[in-house]
Chain A
Amino acid sequence: MKTLRQPSAGPSRPRAARRTLTWERGPVGVAVRPRAVAVVIVLSAVVFAGLVASLMIGDYELPWNDVVTGLFQAGPADAELVIHELRLPRALVALLVGLALGMGGAVFQAVTRNPLAGPDLIGISAGAGAGAVLAIMLGGVTTGQSTTYGAVPFGAFVGALATAAVIYLLAFRDGTITGYGFVLVGIAVNGMLAACTRWMLARIDIDQATRATSWLTGSLNGREYTHVRWLCYALVILVPLLLAMARPYQMLQFDDETASGLGVPIARARIALLTLGTCLVAVATACAGPVVFVALAAPQIARRLTGTAGLPLLTSGFVGAALVVVADLIARTAFTIELPVGVVTGAIGAPYLLWLLARTNRAGKGG
């Protein structure tokens, strides 16, 4: 990652003042960067357009004006059914999952100061996968309609949190949460969990294995309002908590001396932020399976869009939402068969990841 240089905030610096609108009255002050606001507005428009498009396109095509009116008021009965029962829950799950993954990814990358320390590489997704497959194995789940299906997201959630706890304990013992040692420990844990998952996959019967493999690829097929509701509950709790920690989040992107000099209790802030980030990723993964590369790519794209030195938290979430909504639209409609969304994000994200690796290496920060 490039060295993080915070754009000099505050009214005393004239260069920053040109790009930042500030408003101060006594102890209260608000600083707004027009570019960041513009980016968020454009991204919201993209997300909304993607949402409308994914409501329009499918086996039963709907004109866009029907969709927009159908969203807000009762329309024709068949359009009502297609929009509200079939396509809207799925599109909303895509949006919320993307939001959670984008913000969670930003937290991981900021706190570890490593653009590659995402949940995909350090084993958190693998932990969720192992937990989910375990639930499928014990619950005998073969279809999304099985009575025990509720155990699968639960298993994934618990698996992700447990794995994260193990990795943090291993990494925190001698305070090496930043740097590549942390990622290497994660890769080791990842290898172990992947072996577990493969072992379980070879044990269970073929219907369960199909179900599990499809889950492991990250799919939004057949998501309902239950998922939307759970995602909403989780995000309503987690996002405000995270935004309340925006200041330590910004500060931790500096080196340790600077951050503690600025009055951030480093160890506590790190644990709190990582816990929140892990919860976000775990909730998203529990709902949609490990949708790879979103947590990795979204914060990096967001940073380039806003032009800030640090990783923007909220913008990352919006980029993630846009990514998953569009990727799911492509996965659903671009090919003759419906692909899991994880395949599309993987196909887009993997070349990007390799490019990112090559680039960080060239910058001499590759480890």
Chain B
Amino acid sequence: MGLLLVLVFIALVASLAIGTRNVAPTEVLAMLGGDREGDAGMIWDLRVPRTLLGLVVGMALGVAGAVAQNITRNPLADPGLIGISAGAAFAVAASVGLLGLEGTQSYVWFAFVGAAIAGALAYFVGGTGVGGATPAKLALAGAAISVLLEAGTSALVLTDPDSLDRYRSWAVGALTGREDDLIWQLSPFVVVGVVLALVIAGRLNALALGDDLATTLGAKAGTTRLLGAGVVVLLTGAAVAAAGPIVFVGLVVPHVMRAFVGPDARWLVPASGLAGAVLLLVADVIGRVIARPTEVEVGVVTAFLGAPFLIYLVKSGKLREQDS
């Protein structure tokens, strides 16, 4: 955990220092303490908001992934993979395109609703039949819902060039080009979500044993699962509203963290939050330097980091033991 905090710090500094104009890390630290002239002004105006957004979004996605995997007892329950992000994206496109809303503040609620409905639908369809929501069934239902919602989304934005223009810059999954006060508007949601996740972490452990055993141990399985679902929707909705549909972060991070801190949710949830922040910041930095002088958005970088990981998971047979 201490190591993770150090990594977060390094990632933060790197995200502040690296870009079209590199600044030495020592100078970055000095600037944060002192003046706001020259390079320091650039860092304060451009990179600090971006880095903070990356920190918050990454943390939200990491925690959401860990909780989602825990309450569904399903290693593929990534908010992006099971259609929650697509649901939020569709709701945002609908609110922008049909209702003409502007600004994250106004459409964040739609993102929550869309995320909740899509997630519930995926879980409902994927959960039918023998063995409940097994990894493959859930991922398939999520993929089907995503395909449907993406088709609907592009039909919506096609009717109006303005909303297409706004939508496409949001849908790519980026930390830039957002309103300055976005971070302050969304942080409360993320803070509430993360705190709630930490509070129920102990009960999530009981849930991992199976519903029957959890009930025997005195944990209310239904309530815990509902609270967990609330956390996932809150965090994913906020992250998607802020940065667009960023997939695979919620999948990769908890898996890697489980290898380090073990399956105990009280450790796994905070560790996933921190590691999610590290992953997103590092992906953002990679996106800045990989295609100079332009940038590759963070959502594209995480997809290219995450997809091979998913293929590896499938190939290594690690999913099979939980398959029905």
Which chain A residues have a beta carbon within 8 Å of chain B's beta carbons? 116, 120-121, 170, 174, 180-181, 183-185, 187-192, 194-196, 198-199, 201-203, 206, 209-210, 213-214, 216-217, 292, 337, 339-340, 342-343, 346, 350, 353-354, 357-358, 360-364, 366-367
**Known contacts A202-B297, A214-B158: A191-B165 contact under CB 8 Å:** no
**Known contacts A121-B143, A367-B134: A361-B296 contact under CB 8 Å:** no
Partner of A196, one of B81, B154, B300, B308: B300
**A interface secondary structure, majority:** helix
Binds A, one of B64-72, B99-107, B168-176: B168-176
Q: A120-B147, A358-B129 are in contact. List 19 more A-B contacts (CB 8 A).
A: A184-B136, A184-B314, A185-B314, A191-B306, A192-B303, A194-B303, A195-B300, A195-B302, A198-B173, A202-B168, A210-B158, A216-B154, A337-B159, A339-B155, A340-B158, A346-B155, A357-B140, A366-B129, A367-B135
Interface size class of B (residues with CB under 8 A): 35 or more
With a CB–CB cut-off of 8 A, which chain B residues contact A121?
A: 140, 143-144, 147
**Known contacts A210-B161, A346-B148, A358-B129: A367-B137 contact under CB 8 Å:** yes
When chains A and B are docked, how far (Å) is the Cα of A327 from the Cα of B236?
35
With a CB–CB cut-off of 8 A, which chain A residues contact B248?
A: 191
When chains A and B are docked, how far (Å) is the Cα of A183 from the Cα of B135?
12
Partner of B164, one of A206, A337, A353, A367: A206
Partner of B155, one of A170, A343, A361: A343
Q: Which residue of chain B is the closest to A190 with respect to CB atoms?
A: B143
Partner of B296, one of A116, A170, A199: A199
With a CB–CB cut-off of 8 A, which chain B residues contact A170?
A: 311, 315
Partner of A187, one of B128, B169, B172, B310: B310
A-B contact count (CB 8 A): 168
When chains A and B are docked, how far (Å) is the Cα of A359 from the Cα of B208?
27
With a CB–CB cut-off of 8 A, which chain B residues contact A354?
A: 121, 125, 141, 144-145
Asked if B56 is at the interface (CB within 8 A of a chain A CB), the reply is: no
Q: Is the CB of B323 within 8 A of A202?
A: no
Q: Is the CB of A183 within 8 A of B136?
A: yes
**Known contacts A187-B81, A209-B165: A367-B171 contact under CB 8 Å:** no
When chains A and B are docked, how far (Å) is the Cα of A350 from the Cα of B137?
16
When chains A and B are docked, how far (Å) is the Cα of A144 from the Cα of B174?
31
Q: How far is the CB of B183 from chain A (nearest CB, A)?
A: 21
With a CB–CB cut-off of 8 A, which chain B residues contact A363?
A: 129
**B interface secondary structure, majority:** helix
Q: How far is the CB of A326 from chain B (nearest CB, A)?
A: 18
Q: How far is the CB of A43 from chain B (nearest CB, A)?
A: 26
Q: Is the CB of A192 within 8 A of B307?
A: yes
With a CB–CB cut-off of 8 A, which chain B residues contact A342?
A: 151
When chains A and B are docked, how far (Å) is the Cα of A206 from the Cα of B135?
39
Asked if B126 is at the interface (CB within 8 A of a chain A CB), the reply is: yes
Q: Is the CB of A206 within 8 A of B154?
A: no
When chains A and B are docked, how far (Å) is the Cα of A202 from the Cα of B299?
12
Q: Which residue of chain A is the closest to B152 with respect to CB atoms?
A: A346
With a CB–CB cut-off of 8 A, which chain A residues contact B135?
A: 367
With a CB–CB cut-off of 8 A, which chain A residues contact B297?
A: 199, 202
Q: How far is the CB of B229 from chain A (nearest CB, A)?
A: 20
Q: Is the CB of B134 within 8 A of A201?
A: no
Name the residue in B145, B168, B172 with the highest tally of chain A Cβ atoms < 10 Å from its Cβ.
B168
**Known contacts A201-B168, A202-B169: A364-B129 contact under CB 8 Å:** yes
When chains A and B are docked, how far (Å) is the Cα of A8 from the Cα of B121?
40
Q: Is the CB of A191 within 8 A of B307?
A: yes
When chains A and B are docked, how far (Å) is the Cα of A191 from the Cα of B137?
17
Q: Which residue of chain A is the closest to B148 with respect to CB atoms?
A: A350
Partner of B311, one of A174, A180, A185: A185
Q: How far is the CB of B25 from chain A (nearest CB, A)?
A: 29
With a CB–CB cut-off of 8 A, which chain B residues contact A184?
A: 76, 136, 139, 310, 314, 319
Asked if B304 is at the interface (CB within 8 A of a chain A CB), the reply is: yes
Q: How far is the CB of A237 from chain B (nearest CB, A)?
A: 30
Asked if B324 is at the interface (CB within 8 A of a chain A CB), the reply is: yes
When chains A and B are docked, how far (Å) is the Cα of A189 from the Cα of B311?
8
Q: Is the CB of A361 within 8 A of B164?
A: no
When chains A and B are docked, how far (Å) is the Cα of A350 from the Cα of B76?
22
Q: How far is the CB of A117 from chain B (nearest CB, A)?
A: 10
**Known contacts A209-B165, A210-B161, A213-B164: A199-B304 contact under CB 8 Å:** no
Name the residue in A170, A213, A362 with the highest tally of chain B Cβ atoms < 10 Å from its Cβ.
A213
Asked if B247 is at the interface (CB within 8 A of a chain A CB), the reply is: yes
With a CB–CB cut-off of 8 A, which chain B residues contact A350?
A: 144, 147-148, 151
When chains A and B are docked, how far (Å) is the Cα of A174 from the Cα of B315?
9
With a CB–CB cut-off of 8 A, which chain B residues contact A192?
A: 303-304, 307
Some 29 contacts from A to B, beta carbons below 8 A apart, are A170-B311, A170-B315, A180-B140, A184-B314, A187-B310, A188-B306, A188-B308, A188-B314, A189-B307, A191-B80, A191-B247, A195-B173, A195-B300, A195-B302, A196-B303, A199-B300, A206-B165, A213-B164, A213-B168, A214-B158, A346-B152, A357-B125, A357-B141, A357-B144, A360-B129, A366-B130, A366-B324, A367-B140, A367-B323
